[in-house]
A = this chain, B = another copy of it.
Amino acid sequence: MSNNTYSTFTDVNSLGEFGLIDALTKDHPAVQASTVKGVGDDGAVINNTNEVTVISTDMLVEGIHFDLMYTPLKHLGYKSVVVNLSDIFAMNAVPSQITVSIAISNKYSLEALKEFYEGIYTACKMYQVDLVGGDTTSSPKGMVISITAIGQAKKEDIVYRNGAKKGDIICVTGDLGASYLGLQILEREKQVYLAHPGVQPELENSQYLIERQLKPEAQAGAIDYFKKMNIRPTSMIDVSDGLASEIIHICQQSGTGAFIEEGKVPLHPDTERTALEFNLDPITCALHGGEDYELLFTIDEKDLDKIRFMPEVFIIGEITDAKEGITLHTTGGNIHPITSQGWNHFRE
């Protein structure tokens, strides 16, 4: 289990809001030329010449989106940033700035918050974005994180969810379902730990799955590749709620159908093995698990040759007429409708 304790304890109340913000942000100068003014005024100032601004925001709530019992604060900070940057990449844009707001109970020390911000800044460095503002406030109960990511793109490069058309190839940038199983393992070991506090958790064979859950990455490389190869996907979305939910979004907004070939959906060997341990079908984890932060996108057939050289890409299906519906072609030769209802059912 995670051990969010510190040898030094600086009471955050002793610093005041402005002292706290200063303590957390002072060592991190801006790296983006577009950052005119970061933390420290009423607003941040960003210079966009000849490009459009893309904005995305997410809220993460303790007890709903994360459990501090098995989530180290540094990982939480890192993941909070990544899930937002993932949305900017999913527009075929490049993130440049973030704002971070947190509500925390008074029980947190400055050292604990610094750990959280170390994760935030590690992600900022990894993806070359500047933290330019935010808000810190107290919370009567539980931690709440709200991050807004800002990115830029040429207007004609932006990719929406609504541009897929019949015959387009459906691609995904990496394996699916692993993050969901990582979460199942962490939840299982938490229950074991609560029942028998002395027992060491069994996490040795699950490192890949747990890392996919606790420290996901956003697909910056895919966006770079599109730019280099002069590819513009016809539609794109990031896989945060599961493949089923995302392909439904694309089809609904594009007015199309689609089929996914079960045998083509990339699954990590650990995902297949662990799904069976939990009596789950691996494809169900890919369809309804979520939090993979891979990019699901469609391309025109004519771009197929360009995509084949992409370092990490899997062709998993095709866009069809709306009347064909959204279906899974199983390895057994059957055709099943893909529904998002599966998600709620799955989680219950």
Contacts and interface: CB of A to CB of B under 8 A. Distances in A.
Interface of A: 16, 36-37, 40-48, 52-65, 87-88, 90-91, 93, 97, 99, 101-103, 132-135, 137-142, 144, 146, 148-151, 155, 158, 160-162, 236-238, 253, 344
B64 A55 contact: no
B44 A54 contact: yes
Given A43-B151, A46-B52, A61 B144 contact: yes
B141 A55 contact: no
A41 B91 contact: yes
Secondary structure call for the A interface: strand
Given A43-B56, A101-B146, 13 more contacts: A16-B344, A42-B56, A42-B238, A45-B52, A48-B52, A57-B133, A57-B135, A59-B137, A59-B144, A61-B139, A64-B139, A103-B144, A144-B146
B43 A155 contact: no
Given A57-B135, A64-B140, A148-B57, A52 B40 contact: no
Copies in the complex: 2
A159 to B, nearest CB: 9
B253 A146 contact: no
A103 B61 contact: yes
A87 B57 contact: no
Q: Which of A54, A93, A132, A149 has the most CB of B within 10 A?
A: A54
A176 B258 CA distance: 60
A190 B164 CA distance: 56
